[in-house]
Structure 1
Amino acid sequence: MSGRGETLVRVPGPVNAHSHAFHRILRGRTHEGAAGGAGDFWTWREQMYAAAGHLDPAGYEQLATAVFAEMAVTGWTAVGEFHYLHHGPAGSPYPDHDMERALACAARAAGIRLVLLDTCYLSGGLDAAGNPVDLNETQLRFSDRDAAGWAARHAGLRAALAADEPATAEQGAGLVSLGAAIHSVRAVPPAALESIAGALEPGEPLHVHLSEQSAENTACLAAHGLTPTGLLADHGLLGPHLSAVHATHLTDADITALGRAGCSIVMCPTTEADLADGIGPARELADAGATIALGTDQHAVVDPYLEMRALEHGERLRTGIRGRFSPAELAAASRAGGLRSLGLPGNDDHLLVDGASLRTAGSREAQLPLTATAADVHAVVINGIEVARDGMHTRLGDPAALFRTFTTDHGELA
């Protein structure tokens, strides 16, 4: 009889290129609306703002530790945290990058690689006529007031993270690095775009939510006479270091521009399905020259295999054609695409996946992206350290228990 060791498949570690850790609070809590329906992205967003309003640095570190531990045990080996919850109530700054340091501490505790995508968020959005909207009370926590304020805080954060760097791999040395993000063209006015780009280190990754909703496109066209992609192109932001997140509602010209510039596109298929955002043109973007990466975004699901599968299934549903992405392309999106998007070098992070489980028995090894799930992840090795085995974190134990403790300590935030 074969032992389990003979069925284990070594898989390069998947990279989660888009995360909002605090959104995990909302899982399983947003599917019933007051009038019998659960609304849309915009009604969900109000619940998200309510959850954001309650978090402080200690609570955020506790929550993010649980989120990053869940990622680690399910097979994600690195994460790009699109972080904009910078300040305290009413926008009062914390003394010393407290929220950002909380996320870094959480990642080191979980043993996962973290690229902290420090996000600029300056305005409350655009109305349907393209007019700017004032920040609401919760959004004040996200904002540095202007691009110069963001750039100064970003530079200070870089120094703070460097000062906090541990001495050994066991303590988390080498796990945390810094990137940047523009929340969206709704939240950052055009005059700030080039200032933000000019504040980046050479090669520093820059991410942006792009055309997630058709309403964003309508407002951008009304305000600027350009699509969001066109606006970014007009300010010289398209290029290999830019990652467009979602990219759901694009014109043919947008697709051509993003591909020609060699941008990365971070698709978050389970979130886009959960929020009824739509199915983006992933195949067309890849064919145009863009690099596809994957993310879990709001963490309705945390499972690299289900994100891979959902990318292909979305393509099948919108085209009626199977095999839009080969298993090898799905694996590349979950690994090489994520590394490129986050500006991470190659590494030896890997998983051991059961190739003969109830789900995978009989599968060809190359087709595991279409049959396996996180339940088949036997072990996870990051930075030379085994951080998870059989669904349990080797240092932190059961991530579900960490979530239960957070809920006990903080009550229901959504």
Structure 2
Amino acid sequence: MSLTYWCERAWLPDGVADDVLVEIDGDRITRVEQGPPGTAEQLPGLTIPGLANAHSHAFHRALRGVVQQGRGDFWTWRERMYEVAARLDPDSYLRLARAVYAEMALAGVTCVGEFHYLHHAADGRPYDDANVMGHALVSAAREAGLRIALLDACYVSGGIGAPLAGPQLRFSDGDADRWAVRAEELAAAYKGQTDVLVGAAIHSVRAVPPEQMCVVAEFSHRHAAPLHAHVSEQRAENSACVETYAATPVQVLHERGALGPRSTVVHATHLTDVDVELIGHSGTYVCMCPTTERDLADGIGPARALADRGARITLGSDSHAVIDLFEEARAVELDERLATETRGHWPAADLLEAATGAGHTSLGFPDAGMLMPGAWADLVTVRLDSVRTAGAGGLEAVVYAATAADVHSVVSGGRRVVSGGRHVLGDVGALLAEAIGALR
């Protein structure tokens, strides 16, 4: 069925334009041109392509607002995260992820990269369907109106040279070869389905020994699928890696063929100059997650230096301390200001590109994140008359003033999932409260 939307203003590949008609047929844009609204549905404000949340752990949303007491660091936070992971089963994971993805849709996200390592039962035994937790995530995304890149993570050890213990047991298939068997079954289940892409993930150098990383990289190459990895989020991770392997995490990934134009390193906070060159020259994406990195006291990554060396920057809400890609985008610039004591490192268009086109491409959807014929029909409309955006205009208003609360309309893959700031599933706050409350 063909539908036409009239956008008061729209961000097109060549800039912001007024009075833009976007015609949609099914899940694709078929026509974009300027003209009067006629009988088209009107979208007041600024319409941009759908946002890509390139790094998500859906179950971490249950930790928001309850892990802020007392002093600590990433490692103390991780223990609380393990406690939540231990309580989830396929049904509760479906309910939680559906609510989290609906919250993302309200924020303008139309595609999520779910870094998935919660595979098995709490005691480590596989479910009868070894991929039932992954299927729950796919169902949750579909019900909330998002496409999903399910980045199935290999997780073998409990730390560099350390055995798995406690809650980590449910993350592991035992070794990379057994991970690959399960991942192949998962990929086969969604072969040919355009709204789901099964990719791969090396959880980290802490969780996957170097000699097993090539198995995960080969899966990515065989399926021409994304390969993501947590990299250098913590200084302690780097120190242990260098002490054991005489190489940084980035260098280990490079040596094992895990960097390249289909790969994304997540966080990349504590890098050497050599690391920056390896990432940039290999064409690897870098997913920055500033709101999580500041929440966990990780540090500020060298985003500008990485981009200058050729890396494409993407954005993720990671632990979901905040689900707001506009906040993630401006934090890349604002954190750079704190680190350098100078302003003006990123044009607004570049930051929005990180949240749209670059993010979608890093997740295996290169035909999304732009308003042009042939692209996925993802339209996100942001109010320009709210108390945050009134008096401003253009991309700067969206990147530096708007929040997720200013998104009033979302069309995802041709499906209208948010109207007037309300999701088709109803009260998302109530859905979140119910799903999270059940875990406590």
**Matches of 2:359 and 2:278, distance apart in 1:** 21
TM-score, length-normalised on structure 1?
A: 0.92
**Matches of 1:42 and 1:8, distance apart in 2:** 43
CA deviation digits over 1:124-143, x for unaligned, max 9?
Answer: 012xxxxx111111111000
Distance 1:234 1:407, change over 3 A: closer
1:359 aligns with 2:359: no
Partner of 1:198: 218
Partner of 1:170: none
1:108 aligns with 2:137: no
Distance 1:53 1:322, change over 3 A: same
5 Å-filtered alignment, 1:43-122, equals: 43-96=76-129, 97-122=131-156
Higher strand content, 1 or 2: 2
TM-fit CA distance, 1:411: 4.2
5+ residue gaps, structure 2, are: 1-7, 10-41, 368-375
Equivalent residue in structure 2 for 1:379, among 402, 409, 418 = 409
5 Å-filtered alignment, 1:172-211, equals: 174-200=194-220, 201-211=222-232
> Number of residue pairs matched?
390
Equivalent residue in structure 2 for 1:234, among 218, 234, 255 = 255
5+ residue gaps, structure 1, are: 127-131, 166-172
**Matches of 1:157 and 1:6, distance apart in 2:** 39
**Matches of 1:242 and 1:318, distance apart in 2:** 27
**Matches of 1:328 and 1:345, distance apart in 2:** 18
What secondary structure does 2:109 align onto? coil
**Matches of 1:62 and 1:271, distance apart in 2:** 23
Partner of 2:307: 286
Matched to 1:389, the amino acid is S
CA deviation digits over 1:90-126, x for unaligned, max 9?
Answer: 2110111110111011011001011000000000012
Whether the 8 Å contact between 1:391 and 1:398 is mirrored in structure 2 is no
Equivalent residue in structure 2 for 1:143, among 146, 157, 172 = 172
**Matches of 1:249 and 1:192, distance apart in 2:** 24
Whether the 8 Å contact between 1:87 and 1:141 is mirrored in structure 2 is yes
TM-fit CA distance, 1:70: 0.3
Partner of 2:67: 30
CA deviation digits over 1:149-170, x for unaligned, max 9?
Answer: 00000001112234xx8xxxxx
Of 232-241 and 260-269, deviating more is 232-241
RMSD: 1.5
Partner of 1:41: 74
CA deviation digits over 1:323-346, x for unaligned, max 9?
Answer: 111101111110112012111132
* Aligned residues with identical type, % of pairs: 52
**Matches of 2:223 and 2:139, distance apart in 1:** 26
**Matches of 2:188 and 2:281, distance apart in 1:** 35
Equivalent residue in structure 2 for 1:349, among 374, 378, 383 = 378
Partner of 2:433: 404
What secondary structure does 1:207 align onto? strand
TM-score, length-normalised on structure 2?
A: 0.86
Partner of 1:16: 53
**Matches of 1:317 and 1:159, distance apart in 2:** 46
Distance 1:248 1:89, change over 3 A: same
Matched to 1:354, the amino acid is R
What secondary structure does 1:77 align onto? strand
1:272 aligns with 2:301: no
**Matches of 2:146 and 2:194, distance apart in 1:** 10
Equivalent residue in structure 1 for 2:246, among 225, 233, 253 = 225
Equivalent residue in structure 1 for 2:330, among 309, 334, 353 = 309
**Matches of 2:406 and 2:246, distance apart in 1:** 49
Whether the 8 Å contact between 1:101 and 1:161 is mirrored in structure 2 is no
